Amino acid sequence: MTSWFYDLAESVLDGHAITEEQALRLLTADDDDLVSLVDAGARIRRRHFGMTVKVNYLVDLKSGLCPENCSYCSQALGSQAPILKYSWLKTDEAVKQANTGIDGGASRVCLVASGRGPGNRDIDRVTDIVTQLKDDHPEVEVCACLGLLKDGQAETLRNAGVDAYNHNINTAESFHDTIVTSHTYSDRTATIAKSKAAGLSPCSGLIVGLGESSEQIVEALFALKDLDSASIPINFLVPFDGTTMEGQWNLTPTQCVKIVAMARFVCPDREIRLAGGREIHLRSLPAMALHLANSIFLGDYLTAEGQAAEEDLALIRDNGFTIIGQVDTPTTAATPTLRRRGAGTQQTANA
């Protein structure tokens, strides 16, 4: 199997697309072969992205109070998850929050608002934020994520300076109606098409761990490839208490790495982003995943806390990567802590 990974990687590097059968074989590889799989996938990553990482930062413009019934979402209709709930941030506050991420190294800011989709007044709110952000940071990419778009709204966002639009398909079409019924899979793909037609870079990804099969994960990745998603966030389900999927822990760290590896083989030149839930599900394996993905969210997510930004940046630098748009700085060594417990003391050992 090990040599097959490398042969398949060489085929991809020669410009050949893999099949769904080959993708499924990657996804269901034995854990014993994980290091070889990552090494083969990392060759593809380095060809297209070198050792660079794009850092992204989320600003939650409006939280909770959503009328959609997405069963995985802590903001959805019927969710009892004890999350922050608030209406639209004022422009100055939104810009302040975005600047926090930019100061931390983000080269893309993602402006997100819960809800089925924006009204024209909501679009005006976002364009005000974008105008100020672009005035202060013309080099920073702005991605909007506002739900289902109506005709003309994508063009308005593009004219205001928005670079990309995120609208995740979340899962395979064959599994979609299992997780939400208040909108359809085609509603989602129509919004992706509208954003692309308006000149916005299409950003669309998935959530894994919803109870879908391996075959459906493959189906979703090939759909994203066909949709020409330029940026593919891979989210790992966080089954909040109070949601329909409370208690559904369906993923292992090695399985998560295999999903990222398969995505790299299927979409070799696309931005693959480690997104929500990565700290919880990858656990001790984030470095392996980063040798496959080339993009990461910094700090917190919409309703879940991420790890400290300093830890994210250390993860990137400690593994030999450089952050896009940032001057590389040496990592500061930690100060050793003297042992004051265990043998020779009255304190309990650190074991």
Q: What is the pLDDT of residue 79?
A: 81
Lowest mean pLDDT among 1-5, 40-44, 111-115, 333-337: 333-337
Residue 347's pLDDT is what?
Answer: 92
Average pLDDT value for residue range 313-326: 93
pLDDT at 328: 65
Whether the per-residue pLDDT at 260 is higher than 90: the answer is yes
pLDDT value at residue 218: 98
Question: Using one digit for the tens of pLDDT, what is the confidence trace for 264-289?
Answer: 999 999 999 999 999 999 999 999 99
Q: Name the token pair of 88.
A: 């639209």
**What pTM was estimated for this model as a whole?**
0.94
- Give me the pLDDT at residue 164, please: 98
The pair of three-digit structure tokens given for residue 137, joined into one six-digit string: 């940071």
- What pLDDT does 44 receive? 98
* Position 339 pLDDT exceeds 90: no
pLDDT level of residue 7 (50, 70, 90 thresholds)? very high
Res. 326: pLDDT tops 90? no
3-state class (DSSP) for residue 284: coil
Q: Where are the beta strands (DSSP E) in 149-293?
A: 164-166, 201-203, 206-208, 231-236, 271-274
* pLDDT, tens digit (0-9, with 9 covering 90-100), for 223-240: 999 999 999 999 999 999
* Residue among 50, 308, 91, 271 at smallest CA distance from 166: 271
pLDDT of residue 330: 59
Which amino acid is present at 211?
A: G
Q: Report residue 224 as tokens.
A: 């994203």
User: Which pLDDT score, from 0 to 100, does residue 325 have?
Assistant: 87
Q: Which residues pair with 154 in a beta bridge?
A: none
Contact between residue 59 and residue 102 where contact means Cβ atoms under 8 Å apart: no
Lowest mean pLDDT across 31-40, 103-112, 326-335: 326-335
Q: Can you say whether residue 209 is alpha, beta or left, with left for phi > 0 and alpha for psi between -120 and 50 degrees?
A: left
d(CA 51, CA 324): 10
- Where do the H-state alpha helices sit in 86-207? 91-103, 120-136, 153-160, 173-179, 185-197
pLDDT at 329: 61
* Per-residue model confidence (pLDDT) at position 331: 59
Average pLDDT, integer, range 149-160: 97
Lowest-confidence pick of 167-181, 273-287, 332-346: 332-346
pLDDT band at 77; cut points 50, 70, 90? confident
Residue of 190, 217, 192, 193 whose CA lies nearest to 206 = 217
pLDDT above 90 for 293:
yes
Percent of the chain with pLDDT over 70: 98
pLDDT at residue 78, as a whole number: 81
Q: What percent of the chain has pLDDT over 90?
A: 80
Mean pLDDT in the chain? 94
Task: Pick 77 or 101 by higher pLDDT.
Answer: 101
Q: Give 178-198 pLDDT, tens digit per residue.
A: 999 999 999 999 999 999 999
